[in-house]
Amino acid sequence: VGTDRQVVDRMRQQLPPHILDLFDDVGRLADGEGVQVYVVGGFVRDLLLGVNNLDIDLVVEGDGICFATELARFLKGTLRTHEKFGTAVIRWGDQKIDVATARREFYQYPAALPQVEASDLRQDLYRRDFTINALAIRLNRERFGELVDFFQGVKDLEQGLVRVLYNLSFVEDPTRILRAIRFEQRYGFTIEPQTMGFAREAIARQMIRELSYERMVDELILILSEENPAPALRRLTELGLWEYLLPGLVWTPWVEVEVSAVPSMLKALAEAGLPVPQRPWVVYFYILARHLSMEGVCFVNDHYPLKQVMRDDLFKLHKEGKDTNQALMNWLRGDDPLSRLESILRDWSEEAILALRAGFSLPDTVRLFEAWRRIRETRPCLTGNDLKALKIPPGPIYARILNRLRRERLDGRLTDAGAERDFVRRLLQEEAPASETKGGNHV
C-alpha cells in the first residue's frame, strides 16, 4: 500500500463517488481555512485492508470546531460541538462525520477519562490505541492522499500485528485490552508479543477493576457483535478476563460449541427466509449467561446496565431453560399440535430461544422457527368487534376467547369465521351454567 499514489488509487477504486466528492470539498475548505485536515483511524485501516468502512473521523491541525462549523454550513448539515474536547459531529441526510482538533491527551490517574489539550497530528495519533489505528491520510488539495504513518502502522497491517504505541496504553485505558482482542480476531491478526505482555501486566495489576461496568459491557457487546466472536471469547478466557467480565463463567468445550454454532444457525434461518434477530450479540450474551450460576446471573443483573426485558430473559433462561429445551425437543420428536408449541414459547424472546437451541440440530431449529412464525402470523377471523356483535360484554374474556380461537385455528379445527362464531356460541353456552354456579367464566 506504500506510496501516496497507491493510496489515491485505492481511494478511487474503493470509495463511493459521494465520499470522494466529500473529501474533495473537505480539502478545498481546509485550504481556504488555512488548516491541515486528515481522515484518520479505522477508516484508513480498513481502506488499506480493502474492508468496507465509511465511518469518517477527521482530525484538524488547527481549530477543529471552527472548521467543523464551516463544513457543516457547506454541507447544510447540523452541527453538535463539544468545546471541552475540541470535537464536533456533523450530520446531513443519513450521513455523519466526526471532526476533532488534533489533541494530546493525558490521564490524571490510570483508567480515568483523559484530559485534553490541542496539539499536532503526531501527538494526536500517538495517544491512540494501536499502530494500525494510528494512520492518517491528508485531504488538503496539494497533498491529497498523502499517507501519514509515524508508527509503522502499514508494516503492522501487512504483518497482521496488533501493537500498542506505548507501554502504558492498557494501564491508561484497559478497554483497549478488549479492543486488541476484537481487532485480532476480526482481521485474523495476532497481538504482537510485547503488546500481549503489556496486556497481561495490566490485567495482573487489576486495571480492569478501575473501569465502569458500562464501558466494559460496551466493549464486550462490540466483541459479541463481530461476525464470529468465538475465537475472541477464547482469548478472553486465556487472559483470565471472565473473572472481571462475567464472574463464575467457565469456558468449557460445550460453551464453545454453543457459541460457535450461532453464526450457522443465523445463516440457516436467513436462508430459510425467516427473520433473524436484529441484535445477534444478545444471543451470545444469553448463551454465556446460561452457563453462570444463579449468583453469576444476580451479579450481571446488579452490575450490567441491561434493559428489563433482558433481565427477565436471563432469569427465565436460568430457571426454566432446561425444561423448555426438553419440551421443545419433545415437540420436535412427537406429533403434538402447533398450539402446544405456542404454549411452550409464548413468553420467550427470539434471542432466548436461539440461545437455548445453540448446539442442537440446525434443521430442527429451522423447523421450530418456521412453526413459530406460522403461530405468530395466525389470527382468528373474528375480532373484538365481532365478539361485541355477538353481544358478549367486553372484558378480559375477549382476550381469552380470541386466544382460544387462535389455538383452535392453529390446530386446524377452525378454518373460517362462521365456524368460529359457532364455536364461540357453543363455548358460551357450555360455560353459562358453570359461570352461574362458580361465579366466573372459564373459557
- Cβ-contact 73, 92 below 8 angstroms: no
- The Cα 363–Cα 166 span in angstroms is 50
| By CB under 6 A, residue 103 contacts ligand CTP | no
CB of 122 to ligand CTP, least distance (A): 14
Which of 103, 138, 163, 176 forms a contact with ligand CTP (CB under 6 A)?
176
Question: Measured from the CB atom, is 172 or 350 closer to ligand CTP?
Answer: 172
Q: How far is the CB of 25 from ligand CTP (least distance, A)?
A: 22
Convert residues 320-359 into a mask of x (bound to ligand CTP by CB under 6 A) and - (unbound): ----------------------------------------
Are 427 and 443 contacting, i.e. CB atoms less than 8 angstroms apart? Answer: yes
CA distance linking residue 82 with residue 67, whole number of Å = 13
Q: How many residues bind ligand CTP (CB under 6 A)?
A: 11
110 forms part of the interface with ligand CTP (CB under 6 A): no
Q: Which residue has the cell 353456552?
A: 429
CA distances 301 to 248, 304, 316, Å, are 14, 6, 13
Show the CA angle centred on residue 426, arms to residues 412 and 388, nearest 5°.
95
The Cα–Cα gap between 296 and 372 comes to: 31
Give the residue at shortest CB distance from ligand CTP.
42
Which of 173, 184, 192, 408: binder of ligand CTP (CB under 6 A)? 173
- Is 300:335 a contact under the CB 8 Å cutoff? no
Rule CB under 6 A: is residue 41 a binding residue for ligand CTP? yes
For the chain, helix, strand, coil in percent to 5 are 60, 10, 30
Binding residues for ligand CTP restricted to 203-222, rule: CB under 6 A: none
Provide CB contacts within 8 A for 254, sequence distance 6+.
359
Question: Looking at 60-68, 171-179, 254-262, 408-416, which segment touches ligand CTP (CB under 6 A)?
Answer: 171-179
Site string for ligand CTP, 111-150 (x = CB under 6 A): -----------------xx---x-----------------
Stretch that binds ligand CTP, among 20-28, 79-87, 174-182, 290-298 (CB under 6 A): 174-182
Which of 11, 50, 18, 17 minimizes the C-alpha distance to 138? 11
Give the binding range for ligand CTP (CB under 6 A) out of 146-154, 169-177, 193-201, 431-439.
Answer: 169-177
Residues forming contacts to ligand CTP in the complex (CB under 6 A) are 41-42, 55, 57, 128-129, 133, 173, 175-176, 179
